[in-house]
Amino acid sequence: MTQIAKKTVLITGGAQGLGRLLAERCVQHGAAKVILWDINEETLRETAQALGEQGTAIECAQVDVQDSTQIAAAAAKVLETQAVDILINNAGIVVGKPLAEHSHYDIDQTIGVNVLGVMHTTRAFLPAIQEHGGHIVNIASASGYLPLPNLTIYAASKWACLGFSESLRVELRDIPDVHITTVCPSYINTGMFDGVTAPIATPILDPDYATDKIIGAILSNKAILRMPRIVNLVPLCYTLLPQRLFDLVCGRWLGIYRAMDLFKGHGKK
């Protein structure tokens, strides 16, 4: 079982939202050091100061995970002095609107953060983790299992993240003390999905609940965490039901395809 106590944890997108909550839990579980990467310098500084008051060593760096050069430089600096025991690829962005309204930058940024950022960050730390052991946690999404109107690029990025994470888990399955956990939650109430309409039977998740479930999955070396539990049925339904029936039952009757109709997101009015 993976231990957080006395370990070094690195969290991308660690200054706010789910990343900050995960950092707080790692501090509470006795982590020796928590390393925060985030693009927002001011929020990063505030979070580091707040967490540092609790006694755990906090290290932070402003890193844009769209930029593989920044990732490589920041990772090399970390690895000069320490090993990372737990890597949590949490950084993510969402653009919720029809594809025709996306700019080309929207597309590049979403794939850059949600897919390439996960891949490059994992690659940067993987040799050391293979040598010394460690745990990689990739925050994917339940949207990695099904189509979502007005979330085309985001859903595509999470399909990619899920495929990457699961393929890596199998690739590394014979290496002792190396673990991969893929997290596939529905909407979490962190502000990232403000305005979203929860589908029937799939409530918007409380951030503290989601955080506790992720920490539990790390401690138990769980390969895939889907939440809430009904998300476990999504891959089965999508595979077994005729496509038109899935569209009707899950997409329309359960409201999955209408979830983004009133989406606002961070900072939108």
b/e map 170-187, b = 16+ CB within 10 Å: eeeeeeeebbbbbbbbbb
Which pLDDT tens digit goes with each residue over 8-41?
999 999 999 999 999 999 999 999 999 999 999 9
Give domain status of residue 1, yes or no: no
Query: Known catalytic residue: 154?
Result: yes
Which pLDDT tens digit goes with each residue over 88-97?
999 999 999 9
Give the SS3 label for residue 114: helix
Which pLDDT tens digit goes with each residue over 107-126?
999 999 999 999 999 999 99
Closest by Cα among 156, 61, 39 to 102: 156
Q: Provide the pLDDT for residue 211.
A: 98
Quick one: what percent of the chain has pLDDT higher than 70? 98
Q: How far apart are CA 142 and CA 124, in angstroms?
A: 26
Find the CATH number of the domain harbouring 220: 3.40.50.720
Q: What is the mean pLDDT of the chain?
A: 93
Q: How far apart are CA 187 and CA 74, in angstroms?
A: 30
Q: How far apart are CA 68 and CA 134, in angstroms?
A: 22
pLDDT at 268 over 60: no
Stretch 101-110: mean pLDDT, rounded?
Answer: 97
**C-alpha torsion sign, points 71, 72, 76, 82:** positive
Q: Provide the pLDDT for residue 266.
A: 61
Q: Provide the pLDDT for residue 45.
A: 94
How many domains does the chain fold into?
A: 1
Q: Provide the pLDDT for residue 219.
A: 98
Catalytic residue among 105, 145, 154, 257: 154
Give domain status of residue 50, yes or no: yes
44-48, 249-253, 259-263: segment of lowest average pLDDT: 259-263
Quick one: what percent of the chain has pLDDT higher than 90? 78
Which pLDDT tens digit goes with each residue over 213-227?
999 999 999 999 999
pTM, entire model? 0.93
Q: How far apart are CA 169 and CA 172, in angstroms?
A: 5
Share of the chain residues as helix, strand and coil, in percent rounded to the nearest 5 = 50, 15, 35
Contact call for residues 261 and 197 (beta carbons, < 8 A): yes
Give domain status of residue 266, yes or no: no
Stretch 242-264: mean pLDDT, rounded?
Answer: 85
Give domain status of residue 263, yes or no: no
Which pLDDT tens digit goes with each residue over 65-76?
999 999 999 999
- The values of phi and psi at residue 60, to 5°, are -140, 155
Q: How far apart are CA 95 and CA 265, in angstroms?
A: 8
Give domain status of residue 269, yes or no: no
Long-range contacts of 109-115 (CB under 8 A, 24+ apart): 109/66, 110/153, 110/154, 110/157, 111/153, 111/156, 111/157, 111/160, 112/65, 112/66, 113/65, 113/66, 114/154, 114/157, 114/158, 114/160, 114/161, 115/157, 115/160, 115/161, 115/164
Contact call for residues 205 and 227 (beta carbons, < 8 A): yes
Q: Provide the pLDDT for residue 144.
A: 93
pLDDT at 179 over 90: yes
What residue numbers bound the domain in which 47 lies? Answer: 8-258
